[in-house]
Amino acid sequence: MIPIAYYVTVSTMMFVIGLVGILIRKNFLIILFSIELMLNAANINLVAFSNQYGEIDGQVISLFIITVAAAEAAVGLAIIIVLFRRKATTNVDELNLMKW
């Protein structure tokens, strides 16, 4: 049996990688990928603790997270398509219309 702390370590690393990805990348799509990474890290945590305490609730909630991630992907990609139609770029630095 593997202690739960190792699963939490993996999930922490994935979360930090996703966070750094959001901060450093310029491409809008890669920023969405990083958000997916962070959501997946949360999923690992939920399922690991569900296994640790013998309750099914963590797995049910991770199912909800997967659903919300799918919805987020659909809306995010629609926004990307609209933006690309107007400005022909996915570089977030050039999308500064609402910057003060």
Partner 1 sequence: MVEHAFFIYFATVTILSSIMTIGFRSPIYCTLALLSTLLHVAGLFVLLNAEFIAAIQIVVYAGAVLVLYLFVLMLLNLKKPEDFVHKQVWIALFFGVILLIEILIGLFKSPLFTKAPLAMTESVSELGNTAAIGFSLFTKYLLPFEVVGMILLGAVIGAMVLAKKVPTN
Distance in Å, CB of 78 to partner 1, minimum: 4
Contact 43, 62 (CB under 8 A): yes
Q: How many residues belong to the site for partner 1 (CB under 8 A)? A: 70
Site string for partner 1, 39-78 (x = CB under 8 A): -x--xx--xx-xxxxxxxx-xx-xxx-xxxxxxxxxx-xx
Q: Counting contacts by CB under 8 A, is residue 94 touching partner 1?
A: no
Q: Is 18 in the site for partner 1 (CB under 8 A)?
A: yes
Q: What per-residue string of b and e applies to 31-52 under the rule 16 or more CB within 10 Å gives b? A: bbebbbbbbbbbbbbbbbebee
Look up tokens 């990083």; give the residue: 34
Smallest gap from residue 99 Cβ to partner 1 (A): 15
The b/e string for 4-28 (b: 16+ C-beta within 10 A; e otherwise) is eeebbeebeebbeebeebeeeeeeb
Please report, as ranges, the residues that interact with partner 1 according to CB under 8 A.
Answer: 1-10, 12-14, 16-21, 23-27, 29-30, 32-34, 36-37, 40, 43-44, 47-48, 50-57, 59-60, 62-64, 66-75, 77-82, 84-85, 90-91, 93
